[in-house]
């Protein structure tokens, strides 16, 4: 049996750091890290323009198919996803409006989205912080470029409210917490929900 927890939240909020810390702390937590680069590379090879409808639809089809394949082959136990299927669904549905487009993506990718929704997480842990804190963390992190940071911020306000509509979402404000405090808070959430006994 597999229990899926997805880590969500704005770019630079600390998802990957938290995932690494939990992976070190708990032997029964398997972490799958976000790796968009193979699809990004394929997009470049195919010369897809995601600011045009056909290019965006093709791009998202690639991402959705890759995510479904990943989720079909999960190990047993607790699986912690750095992002996950809900993130891909959100971006697929909301990116067009962020660039002023009114594409009906729900129809264009109807079958793909239906299949993706079969793999929703058992719990969504949404790490919340203000835009100022996200920007500060992004600027102080020299290990990653995060070239799409400003573009992602256009969707940030919608993102939190979208995740709130899932009954499985737990929102944790991490804005003024240290790494250790975030880890301790998440450990307490997992204990309260009996996930660590899974």
* Residue 35, both tokens: 């790796």
Residue span of the structural domain in which 150 resides: 2-122+146-197
Average pLDDT over residues 4-32: 93
CATH number at residue 153: 3.40.50.300
Has residue 127 been placed in a domain? no
Q: What is the pLDDT of residues 141-178, one digit of tens each?
A: 767 766 667 777 778 888 989 999 999 999 999 999 99
Q: Tell me if residue 41 falls in helix, strand or coil.
A: helix
Has residue 58 been placed in a domain? yes
Has residue 14 been placed in a domain? yes
- Is the pTM higher than 0.75? yes
Length of the chain: 198
What per-residue confidence (pLDDT) applies to 105?
Answer: 96
Has residue 165 been placed in a domain? yes
Has residue 102 been placed in a domain? yes
Q: What is the pLDDT of residues 52-83, one digit of tens each?
A: 999 999 999 999 999 999 999 898 889 999 99
């Amino acid at each position: 049996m597999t229990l899926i927890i997805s880590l969500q939240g704005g770019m630079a909020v600390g998802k990957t750091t938290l995932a690494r810390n939990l992976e070190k702390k708990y032997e029964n937590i398997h972490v799958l890290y976000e790796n968009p680069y193979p699809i990004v590379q394929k997009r470049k090879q195919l010369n897809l323009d995601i600011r045009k409808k056909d290019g965006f639809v093709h791009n998202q089809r690639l991402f959705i198919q890759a995510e479904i394949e990943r989720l079909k082959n999960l190990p047993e136990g607790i699986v912690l996803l750095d992002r996950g299927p809900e993130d891909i669904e959100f971006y697929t549905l909301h990116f067009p409006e962020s660039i002023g487009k009114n594409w009906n993506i729900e129809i264009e990718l109807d079958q793909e989205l239906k299949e993706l929704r079969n793999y929703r997480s058992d719990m969504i842990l949404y790490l919340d912080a203000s835009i100022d804190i996200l920007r500060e963390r992004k600027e102080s992190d020299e290990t990653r470029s995060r070239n799409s940071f400003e573009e992602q911020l256009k969707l940030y306000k919608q993102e939190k409210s979208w995740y709130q509509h899932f009954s499985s979402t737990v929102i944790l404000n991490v804005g003024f917490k240290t790494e250790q405090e975030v880890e301790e808070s998440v450990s307490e959430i997992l204990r309260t929900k009996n996930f660590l006994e899974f």
